[in-house]
Structure 1
Amino acid sequence: MIKINCFIPADSFVGVANMINELQANPLVETIFLPANLVAEAGEKAKAFSFEGLTTTSTVKRITEVSKEVDYVLLLTKPCSVKLGQFAIERLVETAEATGALKVYADYYEVKEGKLAAHPVIDYQEGSLRDDFNFGPLVLYKASALHTAVAKITQDFEYAGLYYLRLKVSQHGNFFRIPEYLYTIDETDTRKSGQKIFDYVDPKNRQVQLEMEQAATEHLKDVGAWLSSDFKPVELDLRAFDKKLSVIIPVRNREKTIADAMESVLIQKTDFNFNLIVVDNHSTDKTSTIIKSIAENDERVVHIIPVREDLGIGGCWNLGVHDPRCGMIAMQLDSDDIYKDETTLQKVADVFDAEKCAMVVGTYQLVNFDLEEIPPGIIDHKEWTPENGKNNAMRINGLGAPRAFYTPVLRDVKVPNTSYGEDYAVGLAISRNYQIGRIYDNIYLCRRWEDNSDAALDIVKMNAHNTYKDRIRTIELKARQKKNQSKSPL
């Protein structure tokens, strides 16, 4: 007979009463571990368990220790109200038994403003290394996999315990998602997607991020994908270029913002020649007219309208970078953002000159359409360090702004022809072999407004974006493993 231990870190009995009743009646359930103050209401299978520090390594170890005699562990990973769907536990277990998966999870429903809303999750990949991967709050682990993983834990964490455990378990088998809605929770985070995506760079979460980095770094070493801090040397050669730097703006239908973006380039003060390449991807509003008007009055503006009609942002980038008028350095500016002041280009070029790197990433400030700062304010991506940035980049979801590239390297790497994640893919690929320079002073204003591409995405679009970035990381993980294998002695 299969046996399951259930761990339910509830704040109150009311929110989990339905779940507890079903677990009590289920013959597969051996023990229901609850906070001590809820045990008396929960019935005969209930036992007290301290969930203080749920995200700590010590809690992970205690969960494993009391689950030696069972086959599976059902874990609620955060306190929330939960209602199980029909035969949900049986479905989780039978899937684990059939597939041999070490971790099973499922889609779920959320109650939002009194209405039931579907919350599908996505399939786990080798490159699903970000610590905010959403399995949903209810997961089933194979108990023996927890024992194997915990035996290999070498660090103690306050915040990264569950993440560390997940990475360790993933090294020994597969995770399996059931594309069925097996339970319902009350929504606890009502922010829009555009507000949530910056949690990992919020200065308040710095200690959390340091722990996550340590866990991810150990995992990359375990799976042979960790890279040392050696780099290919880059010798900047201006002789093949007419300009030292080109700013590239891919744009489509940004009549409200394109003039501001272009103006922030044209006011730059530098000790070198630069131009502005605007790749106008068949705009249907007044964008093309605005670009043309500015170009007629400033010879530094190159206005390109692609012949192709299948280009995303990445494809437009390729067009600009491979244009013979592109300078030695190709620098990014989004069509609804602006440079902070007239010194931005000079600061970026100076880093290339000083560090001989293949890419430079700056620091930006989140502002609204009126250029007023909005939370979390300055995004400096301090998780990127010369020592471990190229490894930590495999865990995070972006690499900052503005981004600038040594053009010969970018022409060789090439940008994926997508309109989301293309910059992250390029940054990972470049960091595999080359040094990336950093500027920690704010040099860029990132405007968040109602027409931003990621301001308020629905769950389907968010899942598509996250699946793609996980796929990018999977590709990069394989490339790094292959690189390390090629260094290994026969």
Structure 2
Amino acid sequence: MSNISCIISRMEKGDQTASYIHFEQTATLKQIVASVDSQYVFFYTKHPSPRPGEYAQQRFLQLAQATGAVMLYSDYYTEQNGQPVAHPTIDYQLGSVRDDFDFGSILLFRTDILKKVVSDMDSDYQFAALYDLRLRLSREGLIFRIPEFLYSEKEFDTRLSGEKQFDYVNPRNREVQIEMEQAFSAHLKAIGAYLPPIFKNLRFQDENFKTEASVIIPVRNREKTIAEAIRSVLSQQTNFNFNILVVDNHSTDETTSIIKKMAQKRPQIIHIIPPRADLGIGGCWTHAIMDERCGRFAIQLDSDDLYINNHILQRIVDTFRNCQCAMVIGSYQMVNFKLEEIPPGIIDHKEWTPDNGRNNALRINGLGAPRAFYTPLLRQIRIPNVSYGEDYATALAISREYQIARIYEPLYLCRRWDGNSDADLNIQRVNANNFYKDKIRTIEILARKQLKMGNEKKRF
């Protein structure tokens, strides 16, 4: 048996392409693996094929033998305008279950484990075979990142990070996403973290809330947009009383004076400046919901966004009442600063289903917005004191035991402009965000496994 083989995304004879290899198809993957007779095999998953650095293959092999890993990947360079640009990856962990996890385009597999896993694959996927493969491999052993730049690949997707993040909700990708969900649900069942559609009953008690609903707006340095955001709340028409808790996180521009002037004229506006200076967006939220003036339902609005009409609060509260749910998540429309629609348009997360939404939510990078919570439950869970992923972590924690209701019509206008914090992030920031969300998933998977084990013990 030879030591190593390479399978590339395109095989060539002279100047003509002989065939394409579709790693995403189960049948093709089985055919490929059956032909491998070496200890290790490389998959080059991108066309044109990446260009390995000097002694890169030897380094992959050296670390495969040293670690015993079943799959290895590395940092790499992207070629942009003829120049190499460093593209670090992130470490794989239990919660690294996104189907768009960035491994780069060179993967090394241990053949004996690869053959075993592929022979057990019983689904005939057209799009999810490679995803299914690495989920199965993660149950067999170590998936190891080499923190060295071992090759270069051409970068053709030059969109901003803020544009790429919505690919999974594109209706054109729906067929792909259905297969990814099937593979992921099977993975959760295999590791004991799948939750069937059984939820705790939630009945709203007659707590002594003076206010039925509160709109919570954390804000820092949004002098261009905060007044419009507040006015969009004040315009709401409801059959209940509501207020606005604006948590001013020590703004240094004119934001503070704008809020102060508006609050002097409208008692519904409660201007809160936290005594602490170490709060992220999540910390501002927790500070607001723990305030005695917070209403029975806490409803989100970002400081640079607007409700799409004057019936949004009524729609959300009615949904709480009708569904007896712990959380309501709506949809939104992407617009520019002039409020003109921009791609991808409406973000509605229709991939969510009542039966499997809380499982599939672990696979994707978000659950949608605007978000609204039943305040007594939110006060128990609280929100992580971070400024990215805090909403995702909280929604997952709620979904572990409680039902979440969805509204698929857009409820607010989400402005995408240069001042947005996530409009265009560098690779280091993208990696930091993705690593944190993977950590959230790790925590949630562990919590769900504990929950299932606890439920099993109660049965016996």
TM-score clears 0.5: yes
Q: Which residue of 1 aligns with 2:299?
A: 331
Q: State the distance in 2 between where 1:266 and 1:152 align.
A: 59
Would you say 1:39 and 2:13 are equivalent positions?
yes
Would you say 1:3 and 2:9 are equivalent positions?
no
Q: Secondary structure at the match of 2:38?
A: coil
Would you say 1:241 and 2:209 are equivalent positions?
yes
Structure 1: which amino acid aligns with 2:152?
T
Compute the displacement of 1:239 (Å): 3.2
Compute the displacement of 1:39 (Å): 3.0
Query: Any residues of structure 2 matched to 1:47-446 within 5 Å, and which?
Result: 50-67=19-36, 69-446=37-414
Q: State the distance in 2 between where 1:487 and 1:80 align.
A: 50
Change in CA separation of 1:377 and 1:238 when aligned onto 2, cut-off 3 Å: farther
Q: State the distance in 2 between where 1:477 and 1:214 align.
A: 17
Q: State the distance in 2 between where 1:148 and 1:304 align.
A: 59
Change in CA separation of 1:86 and 1:207 when aligned onto 2, cut-off 3 Å: same
Q: Secondary structure at the match of 1:456?
A: coil
CA contact (8 A) 1:237 1:328 kept: no
CA contact (8 A) 2:279 2:386 kept: yes
Compute the displacement of 1:54 (Å): 3.3
User: What is the TM-score with the length of structure 1 in the denominator?
Assistant: 0.91
CA contact (8 A) 1:250 1:279 kept: yes
Q: Secondary structure at the match of 2:153?
A: strand
Bigger shift: residues 72-81 or 208-217: 72-81
Q: State the distance in 2 between where 1:361 and 1:160 align.
A: 28
* Unpaired segments ≥5 residues, structure 1: 11-33, 43-47
Q: Which residue of 1 aligns with 2:453?
A: 485
Structure 1: which amino acid aligns with 2:8?
I
Compute the displacement of 1:367 (Å): 0.7
CA contact (8 A) 2:75 2:147 kept: yes
Q: Secondary structure at the match of 1:480?
A: helix
Q: State the distance in 2 between where 1:382 and 1:182 align.
A: 39
Compute the displacement of 1:188 (Å): 1.4
Deviations 1:163-220, CA, capped at 9 Å, x for gaps: 1111111111111111100001111111110110000111111111111111110000
Q: Secondary structure at the match of 2:187?
A: helix
CA contact (8 A) 2:8 2:49 kept: no
Change in CA separation of 1:326 and 1:87 when aligned onto 2, cut-off 3 Å: same
Identity %: 54
User: What is the TM-score with the length of structure 2 in the denominator?
Assistant: 0.97
Q: State the distance in 2 between where 1:361 and 1:438 align.
A: 5
Q: State the distance in 1 between where 2:13 and 2:112 align.
A: 27
CA contact (8 A) 2:73 2:104 kept: yes
* Unpaired segments ≥5 residues, structure 2: none
CA contact (8 A) 1:58 1:156 kept: yes
Compute the displacement of 1:41 (Å): 6.7
Q: State the distance in 2 between where 1:99 and 1:194 align.
A: 36
